[in-house]
A and B are shown apart, each in its own frame.
Chain A
Amino acid sequence: MRLQSFKYALILTCGCAAVIPARAEDAAGVVKTVKGTVQIEHAGSSLGAAIGSDVYSSDRVVTGPESSVGITLRDTTQLSAGANTILELNKFAFDATTHDGVLNATVKHGSLAVISGKLAKARPDAVRFSTPTTTLGVRGTEFIIEVGDSKESAR
């Protein structure tokens, strides 16, 4: 009896391990370029970014002085953040079959260059970039956002 329940427990553990999806599958994007000091804040901890690092919905990306990072999101949106930048990827979802989803990012400080991807093409109203003073609606394009000396840096 005892042996049997032990067997079941073993089967359950193995079964669970097998169905846990690969972490990369729900990543919003992947780091493609890194220069200097770049941190990705994910679920309360901060890790140094490297080429190949995953970025998730709700992550915060922070670059230091003379630093930069380039990230390609799953829908092919290409982002690059310049020095002293705080970028919050508030929300990202993308369905590769229907091209439905959402992209909502905030540049709190610093600079960001954007090349819009499949999501902006299929659902322009689902893509939103913000700064402390503005909200941008994107109609399939490339642009630069530079935040003026924001309060955040003075703190």
Chain B
Amino acid sequence: MTDTIRCGRLISATAFVMLALLSACSTPPDRIILLPDPEGKVGAVVVRSANAEQTIDKAYAGVDVASNGSMEKTMDSRADVQTRYSELLAARPPRPMTFTLFFLFDSATELAPESPATVEKMKAVLAHWPAPQVVVTGHTDLAGSQEFNDKLSMRRAQSAAAFLVKEGIPVQQIETAGRGKREPLVPTADGIPNRMNRRVVITIQ
């Protein structure tokens, strides 16, 4: 910021050598800034240029990368970042929300009795969601083969989707997917039946 102001003054003072000065003013660097998630958790970003590499892993830490590839670490405050990038941050899409439906027995069709209440909550959310997409993903426990569970999870997703349509969610907003036994809610050894893992996760995004 101060560099640009200094440059600007010089340029107006010596307008006749403007072109020469412009090329002398260094281009502002590219800037990367890490943000925490809403729970305050921070991941990491590895920044690479032609000749340098930096990893940033703290909230509001950053890296400035000059056009020649050299890097400089930065540290901003939360207030600075929220002021400077307020328009950019305001344009973010709503954060996806997830809802889980459980199945009564080892079944692809019989949903647990609390399901209609979950659907009512979803409908309230959907009413205010921009261009909503409802992604219905079926899951299984770790009993059975991958192929068997891929099919079972897809059947669960489809029967949950049919239930959502019956409850009044427009069919064109719904997509289905089966994740098989790849993402258990409760980690178990392979081959173990578990009620909590027989579920459908609905993501509104």
Contacts and interface: CB of A to CB of B under 8 A. Distances in A.
Contacts of A115: 37, 92, 95
Interface residues of B, number: 51
Contact of A51 (B57, B131, B150): B131
A67 to B, nearest CB: 9
Contacts of B69: 133
Interface string A22-51: 000100001111010000000000000001
Q: Which of B31, B36, B175, B178 has the most CB of A within 10 A?
A: B31
A33 B92 contact: yes
Interface string A94-107: 00111100000000
Contacts of A31: 131
B118 interface: no
B179 A97 contact: yes
Interface in B33-49: 33-37, 42-49
A148 B32 CA distance: 11
Contacts of B45: 136-139, 141, 143
Given A70-B91, A133-B65, A148 B27 contact: yes
A141 B43 contact: yes
Contacts of A141: 34-35, 37, 42-45
Contacts of A146: 30-33, 85
B89 A113 contact: yes
B29 interface: yes
A54 B178 CA distance: 23
Q: Which of B32, B47, B66, B91 has the most CB of A within 10 A?
A: B91
A64 interface: no
Interface in A106-122: 111-113, 115-116
A36 to B, nearest CB: 10
Contacts, number: 156
A96 to B, nearest CB: 4
A148 B34 contact: no
A72 B205 contact: yes
B81 interface: yes
Contacts of B48: 134-137
A113 B36 CA distance: 12
Contacts of B114: none
A40 B89 CA distance: 20
Interface string B5-36: 00000000000000000000001111111111
A64 to B, nearest CB: 13
Given A72-B96, A97-B178, A145 B85 contact: no
A71 B137 CA distance: 21
Contacts of A137: 45-46, 48
12 contacts: A32-B94, A68-B88, A76-B205, A78-B92, A79-B93, A81-B91, A97-B178, A133-B65, A137-B46, A139-B43, A142-B35, A146-B33
Interface of B: 27-37, 42-50, 57, 65-67, 69, 81, 85, 87-96, 130-131, 133, 135, 137, 150, 175, 177-180, 182, 203, 205
